[in-house]
């Protein structure tokens, strides 16, 4: 498998047991490019405030 595959964001991104991918996902979450929507599931889409967040 080719090692230089560009990392493109899909509508839904699943976490991986591969440490390099996990680090990359964590970086994208920390920079706001990905948002966690469920355990080990992320999305780059922004649909406003997440449900269940009752803070004002």
- Is residue 18, in this structure, part of any structural domain at all? yes
Task: Give 41's strand partners.
Answer: 14, 38
The pLDDT, as a whole number, for residue 2 is 45
User: In terms of C-beta density within 10 A (0-12 exposed, 13-18 middle, 19 or more buried), how is residue 21 classed?
Assistant: middle
The pLDDT, as a whole number, for residue 5 is 46
The pLDDT, as a whole number, for residue 18 is 93
- Is residue 20, in this structure, part of any structural domain at all? yes
The pLDDT, as a whole number, for residue 9 is 65
The pLDDT, as a whole number, for residue 6 is 53
- Is residue 1, in this structure, part of any structural domain at all? no
* pLDDT tens figures, 1-54: 445 445 666 788 889 899 998 999 999 999 988 999 999 999 887 766 555 555
- Is residue 51, in this structure, part of any structural domain at all? no
- Is residue 33, in this structure, part of any structural domain at all? yes
- How many independent structural domains does the chain possess? 1
- Is residue 2, in this structure, part of any structural domain at all? no
Range of the domain at 25: 13-43
**What pTM was estimated for this model as a whole?**
0.63
């Amino acid at each position: 498998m080719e090692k230089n595959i560009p990392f493109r964001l899909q509508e839904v991104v699943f976490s991986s047991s591969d440490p390099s991918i996990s680090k990359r996902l964590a970086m994208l979450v920390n920079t706001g490019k990905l948002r966690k929507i469920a355990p080990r599931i992320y999305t780059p889409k922004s649909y406003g405030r997440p449900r269940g967040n009752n803070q004002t």
